[in-house]
Amino acid sequence: MLNRFGWKNGLAALLLSALSSVALAQAAKPHVVVLATGGTIAGAGASAANSATYSAAKVPVDKLLAGLPELGQVARVSGEQVFQIASESFTNEHLLTLARRVSALSKQADVNGIVITHGTDTLEETAYFLNLVVRTTKPIVVVGSMRPGTALSADGALNLYDAVSVAASQDAAGKGVLVTLNDEIQSGRDVSKTVNIKTEAFKSQWGPLGMVVEGRNYWFRAPVKRHTSASEFNIDEIQSLPAVDIVYGYGNMNTTGIDAYGKAGVKALIHAGTGNGSVAAQAVPALRALRANGVQVIRGARVPDGFVLRNAEQPDDQYDWVVAHDLRPQKARILAMVALTKPQDAKSLQRIFWEY
């Protein structure tokens, strides 16, 4: 018997059953939300030969996802355009807006993981901020690319595929905010951009947490510092971020920057010192004066690896200063801002730098 479409009932039933099975299979896949903020991964160059010269933040998230149909094999993916900017223009307000959206999504029962596409210049800062303030065990993955999608050997598509794959994986839960580039799974706390024109630009002195290859995760270590669900900080309770800035140490250093930041009313100043966070003799009085006026002084280091030892190079206990431990100055700034959303003396702030 033919139905009103002219099909035999049996054939129609078979087709409807197949369509239903496909729908059920897709619904059973993890739901990953991609929050797009711009950056090189959404960039475009004038020609395929332009891998380092291009305009960032041009491709909207819907086109970014539509250009990678393979994502549907690992997850049910939806996208939101949060910002469309180059990441060097990220402000504290951008951080707060993004973190609030990530936090809200993490509370939704129908969301299994979250991916943030981001420019690489400040990707590490955003990843660490989210690591500190979003209270969830669900996978959060920040991803970028070193080449625009229009370039020969563009890396963004695979990086994004890896990010969605990791965010959809149950074994990525509870490991804090992650960063995926160049097949590596990095801790958002530890990783930094170390070079500006290579696809293997992001490294951690402690090594990656694992690798992701063809959609499968291989884990080799786990983060031990406090993060996400174990953090004492919560984006839902943070209305604004205090002023924290960085001053750079160098030969023949003067105190102009230190004095200017003090007059500007910073709540903390990161001193990016040479070597083991060394401070030039002529800068010590200015930093001590800041501390006497209630500004937290945090001794970091401009060197890419290692960590700052307390009471080495400078008598931190005597001066009531804090050391940044192994955090690079830009990340020390992020932690100091978050920590100082609550009242902290130097001792409690130092405890936070040890633990996070």
- Catalytic center residues: 40, 120
- Write the CB contacts of 327 (distance below 8 Å, at least 6 apart in sequence): 300, 335, 353
Do the beta carbons of residue 98 and residue 37 sit within 8 Å? yes
Residues contacting residue 170 through CB under 8 Å, at least 6 positions apart? none
Nearest-CA neighbor of 92 among 114, 119, 137, 125? 125
Residue 94, token pair as written in the block: 């951008």
CB 43 within 8 A of CB 55: yes
Q: Whole-angstrom Cα distance, residue 219 to residue 310?
A: 32
Q: Are 116 and 38 in contact (CB under 8 A)?
A: no
d(Cα 249, Cα 279) in Å, to the nearest integer? 7
Task: Write out the H or E segment, with its range, that includes residue 113.
Answer: strand 113-117
Q: How far apart are CA 243 and CA 245, in angstroms?
A: 7
Give the largest Cα separation in the chain, rounded: 96
**85 closest CA partner among 69, 97, 103, 68:** 97
Question: What is the helix (H) or strand (E) element at residue 25, kind and residue range?
Answer: helix 9-28
Coil, strand or helix at 224: coil
Residue 104 phi, psi dihedral angles, 5° rounding: -65, -45
Residue type for position 18: A
